[in-house]
């Protein structure tokens, strides 16, 4: 019991950032109906961005967050306009090759630029702990969790309450109907892809104080993100959030009770169990 609570809370906190990474993926899937295999590599790129801003310019990741989110939005927007959008409405294999191709290019570019070393940064709050009753909570993770949920809430409000947000949801299911009210679906697609990638810029800044970065780091998160998205329901906003938290908790509890070796099977087990009961995921609907 004394160990359960810290593991639970720790998992929940990590899950917040998983949710943010998965939100970007699920938004792209839900609106563009494409699986973004470049997601992990773009997160890696964003993490190197956050690392560069911190190590070379002394910019704290939390301060750099808006900037990096904006940069990653621009990267995503341009990527859609010039690469992914060109093949997005054709053959599924073309889109697979395009997003995977982007991933390969980015991964190898990172190897050339940064070598295979792992890097970390130091922040004043990285090792600080907060006492909450009997619990010791790492400050960096608490901040990351709060920011991730805040950003998820802001994104939800944007999608629910603004004209542009409504247009994004409309184009997701009915692009021709959207065109008839004067929406330009292609712009909306680029925007949605940009927002999905901007989530990675934010996530990178939240991860970096407590995580390392290397050219392979995307792989760690991309598997989690895909698990979360499918578990929560492909394209589902609440699914990504709940799924992210659930995967974070499961991962930690598995580590606690089954140890380092067996622990990692818990998330795949959860995944299989959920899909057996609900093949469309927790919040997924049958189209």
Partner 1 sequence: MVDPPLLDVRDLRAGYGAFAVLHGVSLSVLPGEVVAVLGSNGVGKTTLNRTLSGLLRPRGGSIGFAGEEIAGADHAAIVRAGLVHVPEGRRVFPNLTVRDNLLLGSYARGRAERAQSLDRVFDIFPRLAERLRQRAGTMSGGEQQMLAIGRGLMARPRLLILDEPSLGLSPLLVEEMFALIGRLRGEGLSLLLVEQNVMQSLAVASRAYVIEHGRVALSGTADALSRDARLRAAYLGL
**Options 112-120, 148-156, 176-184, 243-251: segment touching partner 1 (CB under 8 A):** 176-184
List b or e across 180-219, with b for residues whose CB sees 16 or more CB atoms inside 10 angstroms. Answer: eeebebbebbbbbbbbbbbbbbbbbbbbbbbbebbbebbb
Q: Is 89 in the site for partner 1 (CB under 8 A)?
A: no
Are 200 and 27 within 8 A, CB to CB? Answer: no
Nearer to partner 1, 1 or 180 (CB): 180
With binding defined as CB under 8 A, does residue 192 bind partner 1?
no
**Of 180 and 276, which CB lies nearer to partner 1 in the complex structure?**
180
Is there binding between residue 181 and partner 1 (CB under 8 A)? yes
Q: Is 231 helix (H, G, I), strand (E, B) or coil?
A: helix
Residues 121-160, mask of contacts with partner 1 (x by CB under 8 A): ----------------------------------------
260 near partner 1, judged by CB under 8 A: no
How far is the C-alpha of 172 from the C-alpha of 170, rounded, in Å?
Answer: 5
Decide: 186 and 85 in contact? Cβ < 8 Å.
yes
Tokens of 259: 């140890």
Cα 53–Cα 155–Cα 12 angle in degrees, nearest 5? 75
State the sign of the Cα–Cα–Cα–Cα dihedral 143, 147, 148, 149. positive
Binding of residue 28 to partner 1 (CB under 8 A):
no
With a CB cutoff of 8 Å and minimum separation 6, the contacts of 49 are: 68, 71, 72, 201, 204
- State the minimum distance, in angstroms, from the CB of residue 282 to partner 1: 18
The answer to whether residue 261 forms part of the interface with partner 1 (CB under 8 A) is: no
Dig out the tokens for 47 from the structure: 């993490």
Q: Is 33 in the site for partner 1 (CB under 8 A)?
A: no
Out of 124, 177, 259, 268, the only residue in the binding site for partner 1 (CB under 8 A) is 177
In the bound state with partner 1, the residue whose beta carbon lies nearer, of 172 and 229, is 172
Query: How remote is the C-alpha of 284 from its chain's centroid?
Result: 18
The whole-angstrom distance between residue 113's C-alpha and the CA centroid of its chain comes to: 24
Which residues share a beta bridge with 63? none
Does 79 bind partner 1 (CB under 8 A)? Our answer is no
* 90: contact with partner 1 by CB under 8 A: no
User: Is 168 or 224 the residue whose CB approaches partner 1 more closely?
Assistant: 168
- Among residues 38, 68, 75, 172, which is the contact residue for partner 1, using CB under 8 A? 172
Binding flag, residue 191, partner 1 (CB under 8 A):
no
| Contact window for partner 1 (CB under 8 A) among 50-58, 142-150, 167-175, 203-211 | 167-175
Task: For residue 17, state whether it binds partner 1 (rule: CB under 8 A).
Answer: no
Return residues touching partner 1 (CB under 8 A): 163, 166-167, 169-170, 172-174, 176-184
């Amino acid at each position: 019991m004394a160990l359960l609570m810290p593991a639970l809370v720790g998992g929940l906190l990590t899950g917040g950032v998983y949710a943010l990474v998965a939100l970007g993926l699920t938004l792209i899937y839900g609106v563009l109906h494409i699986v973004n295999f470049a997601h992990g590599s773009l997160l890696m790129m964003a993490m190197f961005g956050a690392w560069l801003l911190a190590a070379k310019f002394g910019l704290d990741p939390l301060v750099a967050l808006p900037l990096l989110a904006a940069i990653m939005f621009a990267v995503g927007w341009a990527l859609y306009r010039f690469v992914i959008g060109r093949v997005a409405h054709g053959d599924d294999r073309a889109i697979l090759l395009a997003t995977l191709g982007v991933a390969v290019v980015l991964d190898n570019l990172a190897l050339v630029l940064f070598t295979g070393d792992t890097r970390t940064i130091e922040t004043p709050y990285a090792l600080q702990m907060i006492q909450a009753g009997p619990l010791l909570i790492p400050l960096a993770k608490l901040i990351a969790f709060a920011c991730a949920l805040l950003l998820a809430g802001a994104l939800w409000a944007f999608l629910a309450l603004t004209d542009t947000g409504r247009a994004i949801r409309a184009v997701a299911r009915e692009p021709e109907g959207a065109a008839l009210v004067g929406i330009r679906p292609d712009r909306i697609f680029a925007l949605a892809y940009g927002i999905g990638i901007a989530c990675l810029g934010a996530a990178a800044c939240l991860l970096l104080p407590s995580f390392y970065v290397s050219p392979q780091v995307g792989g760690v998160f991309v598997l989690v993100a895909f698990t979360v998205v499918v578990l929560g329901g492909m394209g589902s906003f609440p699914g990504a959030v709940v799924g992210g938290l659930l995967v974070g908790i499961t991962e930690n509890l598995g580590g606690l009770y089954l140890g380092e070796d067996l622990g990692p099977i818990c998330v795949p087990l959860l995944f299989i169990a959920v899909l057996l009961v609900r093949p469309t995921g927790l919040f997924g609907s049958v189209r």
